[in-house]
Amino acid sequence: MRGLGKGVAVLAVLLFCLGPALWILVTSLKSPGLVDDRPPSLLPDLQLDSYRIALARRGFLRSIGNSLVVAGAATVLTVAMASLAAYPLSRMRRGWRGPVLGLVLAASMFPQISIAGAVYRMLMGMGLLNTHIGLVLPYTGLMLPLAIWMLTSFFSRLPRELEEAAMVDGCGPWTIVWRIFAPVAAPAVFTTAILVFIYSWNEFFFALLVMTDPVMQTVPVAIAKFPGQYRVPWGELSAAAILAVLPLTVMVLLLQRRIVSGLTAGTTKG
């Protein structure tokens, strides 16, 4: 009886969490006429008209490409810079490491709106508005403190014997980071990269601020501009939302073991 109660509770939580996503999926598979029915139909007629309109008429496929380029570049740049910063921080004395990491994290505490003006003026002065690199740089700056904190926490738990043995063999700091630490820290680095990619993919504020050209819009901005002046195309909006979430969902499902191992890596000493 207790097992049945737990099963019902789990099912209720799943329905509560997945209910909105399932409704969006059902709406995206309805024909335009069925979407506007009142009361709404609970079952779709399995039409793909909304997907074709979203991809063809609104250039949503181009927005997906922009998001892939920006999120991928921001992830590579952030993880590379965070790895180089986390290694020396992990080897600092504990009395110094805490305050330095506190300052690093403090840099990420400012609301985005408070730095929007300065970021916009800097990018405009460098001629980087409506460019991929103009969006990659703010994303890197926003995610770098968290990435440094995560990797420093893991690097600090790696045995110093690895570093000392590499030094005895004549390895320099660069070789130690990329040849010794990087392979051992692969789970943590991989998890950090996934978190940075997800943030960059979903970020809206700076994407709206920097990408004013419709050709350069990323996925969140493109979805926000779907509604018209007199009508909200719920079918197309739902289809675009499914297309936007699909890459992240597939990535997480395929790499869930690596994500879990990265989140738990370094929590215990060998």
pLDDT score at 9: 85
pLDDT score at 265: 54
Whether 206 has a pLDDT exceeding 90, the answer reads yes
Q: Which residue did the predictor score with more confidence, 210 or 176? A: 210
Q: Which residue did the predictor score with more confidence, 143 or 5? A: 143
pLDDT score at 173: 74
Whether 76 has a pLDDT exceeding 90, the answer reads yes
pLDDT score at 138: 93
Which pLDDT band holds residue 209 (cuts at 50, 70, 90)? very high
Q: Which amino acid is located at 93 in the chain?
A: R
Q: What angle do CA 133, 104, 114 make, to 5 degrees?
A: 60
Q: pLDDT averaged over the chain?
A: 82
Closest Cα partner for 215 from 57, 60, 74? 60
Whether 13 has a pLDDT exceeding 90, the answer reads no
Whether 157 has a pLDDT exceeding 50, the answer reads yes
Kindly state the tokens that stand for 77.
Answer: 């740049």
Whether 143 has a pLDDT exceeding 50, the answer reads yes
Range 168-192 average pLDDT: 78
pLDDT score at 268: 46
Cis peptide before 20 (omega within 30 of 0): no
pLDDT score at 260: 65
pLDDT score at 270: 41
Domains, in order of start, for the chain: 1-47 (no CATH), 59-264 (1.10.3720.10)
Q: Is the dihedral of CA 23, 27, 29, 30 positive or negative?
A: positive
Three-state secondary structure string covering the chain: CHHHHHHHHHHHHHHHHHHHHHHHHHHHCCCHHHHCCCCCCCCCCCCCHHHHHHHHCCCHHHHHHHHHHHHHHHHHHHHHHHHHHHHHHHCCCHHHHHHHHHHHHHCCCCCHHHHHHHHHHHHHHCCCCCCHHHHHHHHHHHHHHHHHHHHHHHHCCCCHHHHHHHHHCCCCHHHHHHHHHHHHCHHHHHHHHHHHHHHHHHCCHHHHHHCCCHHHCCHHHHHHCCCCCCCCCHHHHHHHHHHHHHHHHHHHHHCHHHHHHHHHCCCCCC
